[in-house]
Chain A
């Protein structure tokens, strides 16, 4: 800024003011330009931050939703895994059953020799002779003679039955490795009161559906022990209306029992009786180590159809 000498005329004074004004205005406009640019930069930065915020909020929402979905997917994966394992185990149980049936048939074929070895081969021979040659003629005998002979015959029959029973009981166990098998069940109690029990048995569903034509074996026994547990539990709490239903699910036998109307203690009664299935004598004979496990009903029921879920919304 130059030090100017004071104006000596009005024209000079006006000129000086005009010059100052121009200078100030130029400075002001320059600063305005800088401020506008700064504001624009900040606006852009804010917009960028706003977009980042929106993206993060969306991601946050997705992550929260994933938590709920994760639970549903976990349930579905558990259901699939459980049934895949049970199907494999059912196939193994089927193989074990075949071995057991073969061994039983072989033992039956050996029965005459085993009875002979037990010292009652002659009893069997006499029994057969009496039954075929003498029994049909008894009607011609006086009552007291007939009664005496029948008493002896019945006694011999009892001896043979007892011996055959003992031979069956003392049959050597299968020479196989122990088979680990699971028996799973769920008790549905949405309001605290048990309403339904579902048991999935590691045997083919045809074991019960086709029972009438089947040789009896391990699979029949496992299914029967489950029925025993269910009905014994019902009896424990005097639930007379108990009616077990059976069916197939993914090729496996499922047994269910509605519990509505039963004493609330039926849940514990079922747990106790189901645990006993593992100790059935046939399991040890077949070298099957049965683990009885209660799991969530959600893991036994197929996932809801997504279409149905959409319809229900």
Chain B
């Protein structure tokens, strides 16, 4: 009789941490998505594996944007990462009212870079280059439509911002 653990694991409902690992968001964000999509949470927090795809679609959770490409040449790794992230936002068309989940920007990166980009987007929101909007499925960001040229300047390395400079020094 088959007793391969991997077969049974694949058939068993998944817990919240595993669901979050497969989705690529932390458990609190997973819970937020479950609440926002009206999932019945009166029973134990165990889920069919298909829930991953369902939440991914409802929550706009993307697979990682980062394909290992080197990014712009920059002797400061933090600045290089921020410039690359902004470039990706523009390449994918996230400007003005076309927004994306904030955590899509850093998904798949090492923890250090995730923290860096979270801080960078916060700084850029305060400085008006990035729009950040709260929604029931999570924070959404886009490059402000009126700040695209300024953002391109940061991406090209010809300009920066006080907030970003302070972040790079930290």
Contact = CB atoms under 8 A, between A and B. Distances in A.
B41 A228 contact: yes
Contacts of A231: 31-32, 35-36
A94 interface: no
Interface string B20-46: 110000111001101110000111111
Contact of A240 (B4, B17, B136): B136
Interface in B32-79: 32, 34-36, 41-46, 48
B11 A216 contact: no
Main secondary structure of the interface of A (DSSP, over half): helix
| Interface size, B (range) | 35 or more
Contact of A124 (B2, B12, B13): B2
B26 A112 contact: no
Contacts of B26: 208, 211-212
A241 B132 CA distance: 10
A64 interface: no
Contacts of B113: none
Nearest to B102: A243
The majority secondary structure among interface residues of chain B is mixed
Interface residues of A, number: 43
A108 B9 CA distance: 9
B18 A108 contact: no
A112 B21 contact: no
A111 B8 contact: yes
A112 B16 contact: no
Contact of B11 (A161, A208, A211, A246): A161
B127 to A, nearest CB: 20
B32 A112 contact: no
A264 B79 CA distance: 42
Task: Give the one of B7, B17, B133 with max A CB within 10 A.
Answer: B17
B159 interface: no
Contact of A112 (B8, B27, B31, B36): B8
A165 B27 contact: no
A293 interface: no
B11 A128 contact: no
A305 to B, nearest CB: 25
A225 to B, nearest CB: 8
Contacts of A161: 11-13, 48
B1 interface: yes
B17 A216 contact: yes
A128 B27 contact: no
B135 to A, nearest CB: 6
Contacts of B32: 227, 231, 244
**4 tightest A-B CB contacts, nearest first:** A241-B134, A128-B2, A216-B15, A216-B17
Interface of B: 1-5, 7-8, 11-13, 15-18, 20-21, 26-28, 31-32, 34-36, 41-46, 48, 133-136, 139
